[in-house]
Amino acid sequence: MRRAFSDTLLKIAEKNDKIVFLTGDLGYKVFDDFIAKFPGRYINTGVAEAQLINTAVGLALEGYRPIAYSIAPFATARPFEQIRFGVAYHKLPVMIVGAGGGFTYAKSGVTHHAPDDLALLGILPDMTIVSPGGPDELRMLMPELLKLKGPSYLRVGKYGEPELNHPSPVELGKGRCLRAGKRIAIITSGDIVCDIYPKMNIFLSAGLDPALYHFHTIKPVDRSIFPEIEKNCSTAVIVEESIPQGGIYREICEWKAETNSKLKILRSGAPDAFILGSPSREELRTRLGLTAAALKDLCLQEFRIAK
């Protein structure tokens, strides 16, 4: 997905001379093509995330379309005040890019984990939040984000995620039904869908027939899909690398509370705890139940109870 990001950036910048790319001293060799082509429109503000965002704010005030890039916790939690004050309060078209959101950098430890990026930026008014599933979604959604009049956050994964390759349309602000099913709906946001979607057979072999919905746009969320889910399913299982205060879980809980929906909502996500140590992302996903096998067990358990 990282490659899809740098390729898309280059393509968009070729067409739009207002695009300026800023980094907080990260992205070694990732943006060499961009730098070679547009040296003036590449700014390394140094290990200074407040200045990363404030430079972007100043550029946006002068009519530019800045894209501010860093590793997710340093693009969100670290300069949160600058984003809240400069970007959100002024309603500026600044795109913030968090590379390695969620637990992409699981092994690097707590400082590099960002299960809270969606929650943090999600509380800011008018912030559009996108966490693409695969590189194909990123390529389709990033140009749309850069057409917005207001701020946006794009969570970008790592290198090498597979393409999602699903025929349903990819539209900003629209959820996707990747598989119709009965009783249980699995709902994903972000790149975890690339791990779940190809493994739907695990559910089928266990006698389950779950629906699979994917939301690349977290905010504004596509609420029109929730009643559809409720119509066909009694239980929704949200799976995402996010704390419950953000992501699709928060959105669907809010909807449930507002509509008195009877849909039962389960969650596999980040706990209310720092993850210590140096687990690999795969180890961590297994530990937190963020795998197709763990979800299958959760669904079976739910199915038995529901019966």
Partner 1 sequence: MLSTGELKKQAAKIRATCVQMAFDARESHLSSALSCTDLLAVLYGGFLRGTAEKSNLGRDRFIMSKGHGCSALYAAMAAYDIISPSLLKEYSRTDGALPNHPCRHALKELEISSGSLGHGLGIAAGMLYGMRLSGNTDSRAVVLMSDGECNEGSVWEAAMFAAAQKFGNLLAVIDHNGSQAVGTCSVIMGDTSLEEKFRSFGWHAVTIRGNDIAAVKTAFEQLPAGNNKPAAVIAKTIPGSGVSFMEKNIEWFYRSPSAEDLKNALAEIGAEPLG
Binding site for partner 1 (CB under 8 A): 20, 40-41, 43, 45-46, 48, 50-51, 54-64, 66, 81-82, 85-86, 89-90
Pick 39 or 169: Cβ nearer partner 1: 39
Nearest distance from C-beta of residue 227 to partner 1, angstroms: 35
> At a CB cut-off of 8 Å and minimum separation 6, what does 62 contact?
none
Q: Which residue has the tokens 């959760």?
A: 298
Pick 91 or 287: Cβ nearer partner 1: 91
Query: Do residues 19 and 13 make contact, with C-beta atoms less than 8 angstroms apart?
Result: yes
Pick 49 or 161: Cβ nearer partner 1: 49
Query: Do residues 92 and 60 make contact, with C-beta atoms less than 8 angstroms apart?
Result: yes
Dihedral class, residue 250 (left if φ above 0, else alpha if ψ from -120 to 50, else beta)? alpha
Pick 64 or 197: Cβ nearer partner 1: 64
CA angle at residue 189 from 54 to 130, to 5 degrees? Answer: 30
Query: Do residues 71 and 26 make contact, with C-beta atoms less than 8 angstroms apart?
Result: yes
Q: How far is CA 285 from the centre of its chain?
A: 16
Rounded Cα–Cα distance for residues 85 and 99 (Å): 22
Nearest distance from C-beta of residue 110 to partner 1, angstroms: 22
Nearest distance from C-beta of residue 56 to partner 1, angstroms: 6
Pick 60 or 119: Cβ nearer partner 1: 60
Nearest distance from C-beta of residue 286 to partner 1, angstroms: 39
Pick 68 or 284: Cβ nearer partner 1: 68
Nearest distance from C-beta of residue 84 to partner 1, angstroms: 8
Nearest distance from C-beta of residue 89 to partner 1, angstroms: 6
User: Residue 267: which of 285, 290, 301 has the closest Cα?
Assistant: 290
